[in-house]
Structure 1
Amino acid sequence: MSQRFIPSASKLEAVARISNLTRSGPETLGPGSKERKSVLVNLSRGLSLAVDESLSKPELGEAIAREIGATWDRSCWSAGSTITLVGLDRLLEAAERHGSIAAVGVSSHATYSSPRAEAEALMNVLVPLVRGEWDGRTCVNQMREAEFTHWAQDKWAGWYFEFIALPELINRLGGGPRKVVNTTFDYVLRSTWDLKAHSESGGAAEAILNDQEAVRRAIDEGGLGFIVLSGRRVDDGGEFRAWQRRQRLAAGKKPKPRRRAAGDETTEPRQAPSSPTFVPTRIEIFHIGDENAFNHALQTRALKQYKQGRQSSGEKRKPKYKLNFSTARESLLLTSVTLDHVAPIGTKNGPTLCRLEYLTTNGWAVGHAGIALLHPARYVERLTARGKFARCTELNPDLSEGRVHVSPNLPADFSILVPDPPYRIPRVGKTRPA
């Protein structure tokens, strides 16, 4: 059974998904968040359509729509020869049903041997994308210009992460969104993945996930992973929240009345923080591969039940799950990268992305799947001076392994000392660093 069409959340996502259909190369938006004509030209060529490519964008869009059976009307384009999100999505939906596409479906650009290999590919795309300080006004304006569905949300940082990440993943790796039950997950390759953002400023060590039924179904159908971007929220005295309200009113969005608790007519409804700045600090990728892993996550409280409050209309919401970071990092974490003060991967005279492991009685155990270090060898020496045996593997820009640094006086292949675990770990005394 073919999957129902999933509308794009923005024009940026729409052009990425259209180009992925015909493998015509990455697509972005031009100045003013306008789609480039190459999106339509490449779609026409990819579907082998007999249309006149010299037509204006609205006319070319209409010609393609006529060829592939899509509805085309005044809502599909606007002034300045701009195709709207409605128009792009109508072409995308019809193109996905087109014979040459439907026969093979929408696929990824590569195959992956394991969820960990897939997670490393995802991380390689996302790390350069999210670095730096995010200015709320700039980000909201960028989302609004691209007709992003969620541009007006109070908690803008999480939506901005989805806005920039999903199109880039599609451009670089293929894939796209997936609907399970009635929940749309952001991305699917071999496994299904969902993008989450977490503010470290609130002190909570948990992230709210998705509908419980959809989570269990996705796990049963190939595994489910969560890509969590954590960061520091910078709040002000309410000025940014007031600016957001003015933007919504200017766009014709009227505020919905908030529901108070029964009998409570005095307490003001809770307001979202006024946060003009978000500073990404870390990306972590978690994965639940099958029912056994899911049950273990519930038993260890890495996953917890989460009952949502009622909607603003008073209707009940379906229960979700929560991810407990401290426990999930022990059993569900595939890879993580710390982003604070990290220069682009592979640049000279900047930090090096490394995998850090510690020696245990069962062998090498990963402490950090991705950590940026200025001096990997010195870092290992300092750990040894504190009484720990460590191994640090430098990672190249493509995440392949580079140089390896091991604690002094310990062979790189320490298992030659004792062939089978549990290993006998040589004692190392703490010393004062030079």
Structure 2
Amino acid sequence: MNQSADRHDPRDLEQSKPRTRRVGLEREFVPAETLSEATIRVRMLTGVTPESTRGEKRALLALRDALGLDVATVETNAVLGSALADALGVTWLPAMHVDANRLTLAGVNALLRGATFAYQEGALRALQPKLSDHFATPAWSGFQPAVSKIEAVTRIAALTNSGPEWLGPGSKEHKSVLVNLGAHLLPALDQNGLSKTQLAAAIAHGLDAPWSDDFISTGETIRLNGLNAILAGAERRLGRLGSSYAAGLTPEGEGAALVDALWQKMLTDKEERWDGRKKIEWLRDEGTRQENQMEWPGFYFEYRGRDVLNSTFRPNPHPMRVKYGHTVFDYSLNHVWDLKSHTAERQRPDDATVVQCDDEVQLNDASAVRACVDEQGLGFIVLTGRAVNDQDGEFKRWHDEFKGKPSKPSLSGKSRARKAAFLPLAVEAYWISNTSALNAGVLSGALKVVPQGRQSSGAPRPDKFHMRLEPARRILSVASRASRLGS
């Protein structure tokens, strides 16, 4: 989450809860904060790849098919939503959930809640992509394909505890993921002289998994369906076909995968830096309600980052607890993580002078951090970057006009320099495994509790943990990627 506030869920409406209590499911449902997040999460529950279900209507149709409902595609979203709610046992309130034949955020969240519980109970029919005719046999019926290449290589590596994997430029898988798998499962296989695609074919053959020229592309690259074929063969060989893939992920492996997904999708695009106006407009268009904030890079990283992670990894059917009091941590697979941003440098646009900033990152409510760490551990994914100052005040004038009002004076009486742009430099993952590790972090100076000032109303704010990056990199870091944009 962004460093300025913990995440709350005010849209967690009682009216949207399923009518019947799900036996054995004690963890809370956390609603989506934007329509984009809600539709991404709905479609990922159905098991289809994100690219095939863009938009609200396609996500609802995917859920329809996963539930086996007979509702015509030409029906409006309002009609489709009502039918889905009935099938999921969710209370449907047209006045709250529908707006001119489209669904509101509350409406999609109502369906998302019901679909989430159905997914956890195994009541959704997975709409898995067709890998090959061979996978249509009962022997492969339990396989859950990865929805992205980073998920695929992470799951393959986790099967043999081979350590973290990540993708190279252009989302290309490394040969090491195949070398390690072959060494563990097919020790008699002679890998000498085999190219990456030849090795993949040999491993698939050794695991009695299907293989086809359709599974590879130019440049010695294996497509997602090829990685899924190898993953399926390896899971079956180990007796884990259809098991919960997330259960095998270590904090190191999971942290590396999340870092790589964010690095690939957010830090290696064609933009040399994030333009403040464009990102603020994105925050407005996505309905985040954070477009007026001065710390727009952090909010953009939080909201866009959650969308990236939610659309890159299949949800864990046995989700971790992410809500502690009023704090809701941003994301989880087999471990819980929160997204943070940090301005490591500031740059003057007139003479390109770069000034180093302190390395202290504001985390979350101290009691929530302690509770989560004590129960299951907690990780932080931190984006560091270089802020480009609004030197002539033009960005502030634009932002004030955008908001329709001037900014409120700072409580300190000092005006902070605005960020007109932000250059991402790196994304890093830190893991606090238990209370002993938390206490060690405090003793080392990597972590500390900082009292917060009172709210404008005079009400007290809860203490928060802060993290100093330099010592944290020595004792808490589990993964990092440096952006090419910062080089």
TM-score (norm 1): 0.68
Q: What is the root-mean-square deviation of aligned Cα atoms in Å? A: 2.8
Tell me, in whole angstroms, the C-alpha distance in 2 between the residues paired with 1:313 and 1:198.
28
Q: What is the 5 A alignment of 1:283-432?
A: 283-341=427-485
Residue 135 of structure 1: how far off its partner (Å)? 1.1
C-alpha contact (below 8 Å) 2:43/2:53 kept by paired residues? no
- 1:62 to 1:272, Cα distance in 2 relative to 1, 3 A: farther
Tell me, in whole angstroms, the C-alpha distance in 2 between the residues paired with 1:124 and 1:160.
18
Name the SS of the counterpart of 1:282 in structure 2. Answer: strand
2:483 maps to amino acid: L
Tell me, in whole angstroms, the C-alpha distance in 2 between the residues paired with 1:234 and 1:259.
20
Tell me, in whole angstroms, the C-alpha distance in 2 between the residues paired with 1:101 and 1:173.
15
Paired position in structure 1 for 2:94: 73
Give CA deviations for 1:94-153 in whole Å, capped at 9, x if unaligned.
3234xx334259997644442111111112211112224111111121221121242332
1:166 partnered with 2:320: no
Q: Which of 100, 104, 119 is equivalent to 1:101?
A: 119
1:46 partnered with 2:182: no
Paired position in structure 1 for 2:256: 120
Q: What is the 5 A alignment of 1:232-251?
A: 232-236=386-390, 237-249=392-404
Name the SS of the counterpart of 1:318 in structure 2. Answer: strand
Tell me, in whole angstroms, the C-alpha distance in 1 between the residues paired with 2:52 and 2:30.
20
Deviates more, 1:170-179 or 1:135-144: 170-179
Q: What is the 5 A alignment of 1:130-279?
A: 130-131=266-267, 132=271, 133-175=273-315, 178-201=322-345, 203-236=357-390, 237-249=392-404, 268=413, 270-279=414-423
Give CA deviations for 1:322-355 in whole Å, capped at 9, x if unaligned.
101111111111111111437xxxxxxxxxxxxx
Q: Which of 1 and 2 has higher RCO (CA within 8 Å, sep 6+)?
A: 2
Q: Which of 18, 27, 47 is equivalent to 1:23?
A: 47
Tell me, in whole angstroms, the C-alpha distance in 2 between the residues paired with 1:87 and 1:8.
11
- 1:27 to 1:315, Cα distance in 2 relative to 1, 3 A: farther
List alignment gaps of at least 5 residues for structure 2. 1-24, 125-242, 347-356
C-alpha contact (below 8 Å) 1:227/1:284 kept by paired residues? yes
Query: Is the strand fraction higher in 1 or 2?
Result: 1
Instruction: Give the number of equivalent residue pairs.
Output: 325
List alignment gaps of at least 5 residues for structure 1. 261-266, 343-371, 373-434
Name the SS of the counterpart of 2:478 in structure 1. Answer: strand
Identity of aligned residues (%): 32
C-alpha contact (below 8 Å) 2:389/2:417 kept by paired residues? yes
TM-score (norm 2): 0.61
1:14 partnered with 2:38: yes
Tell me, in whole angstroms, the C-alpha distance in 2 between the residues paired with 1:89 and 1:333.
35
Tell me, in whole angstroms, the C-alpha distance in 1 between the residues paired with 2:254 and 2:42.
23
Deviates more, 1:201-210 or 1:101-110: 101-110
- 1:153 to 1:280, Cα distance in 2 relative to 1, 3 A: same
C-alpha contact (below 8 Å) 1:17/1:170 kept by paired residues? yes
- 1:10 to 1:255, Cα distance in 2 relative to 1, 3 A: farther
Tell me, in whole angstroms, the C-alpha distance in 1 between the residues paired with 2:33 and 2:304.
11
Paired position in structure 2 for 1:92: 112
- 1:340 to 1:180, Cα distance in 2 relative to 1, 3 A: same
Residue 43 of structure 1: how far off its partner (Å)? 1.1
- 1:125 to 1:92, Cα distance in 2 relative to 1, 3 A: same
Higher CA-based Rg? 1
C-alpha contact (below 8 Å) 1:231/1:278 kept by paired residues? yes
